[in-house]
A and B are shown apart, each in its own frame.
Chain A
Amino acid sequence: MHPAFQAVLTIVIGLGGCIGYFWFSNQLLDKVLFPARGPNIGRNIRRAEMIRPWLFLFPAIFALGLYLAYPVVATFWLSLTDRDQGGAFVGLANYQQMLREAKFWEAIRNNMLWLIVVPAASTAFGLLAAQLTDRISWGNIAKSLIFMPMAISFVGASVIWKLVYDFRPIGQEQIGILNAFWVWLGGEPQTWLTITPWNNFLLMVVLIWIQTGFAMVILGAALRGIPEETVEAAIVDGANPFQIFFKIKVPQIRSTIVVVWTTITLVVLKIFDIVLAMTNGQWQTQVLANYMYDKLFRAFDWGVGSAAAMVIMLLVSPILVWNVINARREMR
């Protein structure tokens, strides 16, 4: 069967199945199980109302449980077992093995570097772009263009930036803009992506380039939400534009800055495509998610791979807890 045909069929079956499920289960509840008539009408309606939410929720809960909640537990279990021994329980042996590997520590070190640099730089550039584009006539076009990389895949962005970093030997015309600029300044052409530790930063640039637009959009909206009076009062008091920005505006959008920062942090923790496409972890650029992919699908060492995945989960969990606490506070 041709995949395209299969896709159409899946959409039809999937959507039809969903609609069918919701419609029939509601009919079943209202007409057969607890009909809203007869001697027990009051009790029946009440019971139907108790069950109905779960009819609405069932497919979602089922999918979430199977595709997100169960794997967390299963991965934890895998990290404690050894595939070569037929899945025997080995305790923390996988973790110990992982901690002994230099490549793992390299990944941790690089990930920490990413965690510091990328959210900070993206947020700073985003804030700058949001503030600058706010009051000018062509601000919306500028915003659109800075926001655009958000739509580009990490792999596509890697190709784009690999052209920027491209290297040609001395004497040849440089076709990468970075080397062209470097040679123009009087330097010798460099294979940028192999120079440790600067290559890490060159990879980070790709993600900063993508995420700045996101930060700009969110922070821009927050900046516009600041009450005019506070700014006007500052102007009357003789504050200069920089004071207004740093002392009046930024403190008022601090909570939004935190949200942007954590959202980008989550992206950084899972960063994989850029490293895989540009260096594949060579020249000291390994990161956790790519280390994990290496272990799982190249070395087929599921134990250590799962252990690495649990490390990512561990790093994410503070944000997870913080988000849940915030969400609960809001619901009250």
Chain B
Amino acid sequence: MEGMAGQKSHLTWAVHISVALLVALWLFPTVGLLVSSFRTAEQISNSGWWSAFSAQKGQLPAIRISGDEAREDGLYVIDGNLFGTAETTLSAWGTSSRAPEAYEPDTQVDLDDGWQLTVERSGDFRLTGPQSFEGERLPRVFATATTPPEFTLENYVNVLFGTTAGAGVGQAFLNTLTVSIPATVIPILVAAFAAYALAWMEFPGRALLVAAVVALLVVPLQLALIPLLQLHNNIGIGKGYLGVWLAHTGFGLPLAIYLLRNYMVGLPKDIIENARVDGASDFQIFTKIVLPLSFPALASFAIFQFLWTWNDLLVALVFLGTDDDRLVLTARLVNLMGSRGGQWEILATSAFVSIVVPLIVFFAMQKYLVRGLLAGSVK
């Protein structure tokens, strides 16, 4: 075994590096979206998100000189700074869009009407003229400058509360919440009772029912769309929240029953049989013993169902409809991808708004999610 030691440390380094690479590869796309959502539209279209953390050299949009004039030595003077911040450094400037990099910083340039303009490296400018600037159109400055990294929350404010930019992402957020919470809560109880019966009650046809649940586990919900839409229309539910909740309940039940039954079967037999001997009814055993003991499985399923209903697009499109005020986040995102495909500041921010809730649930409850996955698929 001694011979392995050197080889092992060698290999350990390779492992560390490979894992770091893998993680970076998996994280990179999401980080890109997150970073983009904090940049202005201009920054996003001027440079890749990966350069957001370094100072950037680029041409700024035209800035029109403005400020209060003062009189100095018989001249009218306007002093000021082109940029709002102190960290921006000018590298070239011009007064026409045809020659935006015509002049060096600190050079004095003669304009028409005897005006003279100086722009310094820091962005400080000084405009002088023989007559008052009152009522005159002041010159524009095209500046090429190095700007420090800058991040903004403006996109989030726009998308969540603005009326035009986000086009209803705030509303869609509420809609998604409205869809997913009842659709998570309702199936749990129905499934728990059924799972108890399948795990701990003796009756003919039990094995057949378990097999049926396993079979229904993989039935594609694509098959259910039209028949159920017809059914909802016939019984007067139509397209609406009630229909979505019922559909999600139906589609979530096989997994719920399967997970809960597998868990309940594993509960210690003694406890349940002792309770039976003591005269407890099945109803009491279920509510007082099995349900509290099954909490981990209930939590696993709740997370699954919540993630699934929050992230779902198809069921919401079909059963809730495509009316503008009823769109869920995923449907809203698909619309935005069509209508504002180039406006990454809106798209990235909206996408992140839709992702953030599942991510919080994921990181907070990962233990239960993993447990549920293992119970659901390892046999």
Interface string of B198-218 (1 = CB under 8 A from A): 100111001101111111111
Complex-state Cα separation, A156 to B46, whole angstroms = 24
Q: Contacts A218-B373, A320-B218: A151 and B253 contacting too (C-beta < 8 A)?
A: no
Q: Does B257 contact A (CB under 8 A)?
A: yes
Q: Does A114 contact B (CB under 8 A)?
A: no
B280: A residues at CB distance < 8 A: none
Q: Does A302 contact B (CB under 8 A)?
A: yes
Q: Does A60 contact B (CB under 8 A)?
A: yes
Whose C-beta in chain A lies nearest to the C-beta of B351?
A159
Q: Does A34 contact B (CB under 8 A)?
A: no
Question: How many residues of chain A are within 8 Å of chain B by beta carbon?
Answer: 117
B88: A residues at CB distance < 8 A: none
Binds B, one of A49-57, A94-102, A105-113, A115-123: A49-57
Q: Contacts A156-B354, A222-B378, A327-B210: A277 and B334 contacting too (C-beta < 8 A)?
A: yes
Whose C-beta in chain B lies nearest to the C-beta of A329?
B379
In contact, A57 and B197 (Cβ under 8 angstroms): yes
Q: Contacts A154-B313, A159-B348, A217-B373: A4 and B354 contacting too (C-beta < 8 A)?
A: no
In contact, B32 and A164 (Cβ under 8 angstroms): yes
Q: Contacts A163-B29, A297-B318: A60 and B48 contacting too (C-beta < 8 A)?
A: no
Complex-state Cα separation, A260 to B222, whole angstroms = 22
In contact, A177 and B373 (Cβ under 8 angstroms): no
Please pick, from A67, A133, A142, A260, the residue contacting B224 in the complex, using a CB distance under 8 A.
Answer: A67
- In the assembled complex, how far is the CB of residue B238 from the closest CB belonging to chain A, in whole angstroms? 14
Complex-state Cα separation, A18 to B377, whole angstroms = 29
Which A residues between 50 and 74 are near B, CB-CB below 8 angstroms? 50, 52-54, 56-57, 59-61, 63-64, 66-72, 74
Interface string of B1-22 (1 = CB under 8 A from A): 1001000000110011011101
Complex-state Cα separation, A80 to B207, whole angstroms = 33
Please pick, from A22, A148, A161, A235, the residue contacting B359 in the complex, using a CB distance under 8 A.
Answer: A148
Interface string of B174-189 (1 = CB under 8 A from A): 1101100110011001
Complex-state Cα separation, A273 to B222, whole angstroms = 12
Q: Does A249 contact B (CB under 8 A)?
A: no
Q: Does B191 contact A (CB under 8 A)?
A: yes
Q: Does A292 contact B (CB under 8 A)?
A: yes
Complex-state Cα separation, A324 to B208, whole angstroms = 10
In contact, A156 and B333 (Cβ under 8 angstroms): yes
Complex-state Cα separation, A6 to B179, whole angstroms = 10
Complex-state Cα separation, A327 to B261, whole angstroms = 12
Complex-state Cα separation, A145 to B311, whole angstroms = 19
In contact, A7 and B220 (Cβ under 8 angstroms): no
Q: Contacts A147-B366, A259-B378, A270-B222: A214 and B373 contacting too (C-beta < 8 A)?
A: yes
Binds A, one of B94-102, B114-122, B133-141, B225-233: B225-233
B-side binding surface: helix, strand, loop or mixed?
helix
Whose C-beta in chain A lies nearest to the C-beta of B224?
A71
In contact, B181 and A7 (Cβ under 8 angstroms): yes
Q: Contacts A71-B223, A175-B45: A54 and B203 contacting too (C-beta < 8 A)?
A: yes
Which A residues between 128 and 159 are near B, CB-CB below 8 angstroms? 128-129, 132-133, 135-136, 138-139, 142, 144-156, 158-159
In contact, A177 and B32 (Cβ under 8 angstroms): yes
Complex-state Cα separation, A163 to B351, whole angstroms = 11
A145: B residues at CB distance < 8 A: 23, 26-27
Q: Contacts A7-B241, A175-B45: A144 and B215 contacting too (C-beta < 8 A)?
A: no
A52: B residues at CB distance < 8 A: 197, 201, 282
Q: Does A78 contact B (CB under 8 A)?
A: yes
Task: List 16 A-B pairs, Cβ < 8 Å.
Answer: A11-B185, A52-B197, A52-B201, A57-B209, A67-B253, A72-B219, A72-B223, A133-B19, A146-B26, A148-B27, A159-B350, A160-B29, A180-B48, A218-B373, A289-B222, A309-B225
Q: Besides A57-B197, A155-B354, A269-B220, 17 other CB < 8 A contacts?
A: A6-B241, A10-B186, A10-B242, A18-B189, A50-B203, A56-B197, A59-B190, A61-B209, A67-B246, A71-B224, A148-B362, A155-B311, A156-B355, A161-B29, A163-B29, A259-B378, A312-B223
List the 5 closest pairs (A to B, CB-CB), nearest first. Answer: A67-B250, A153-B311, A60-B194, A74-B227, A151-B362
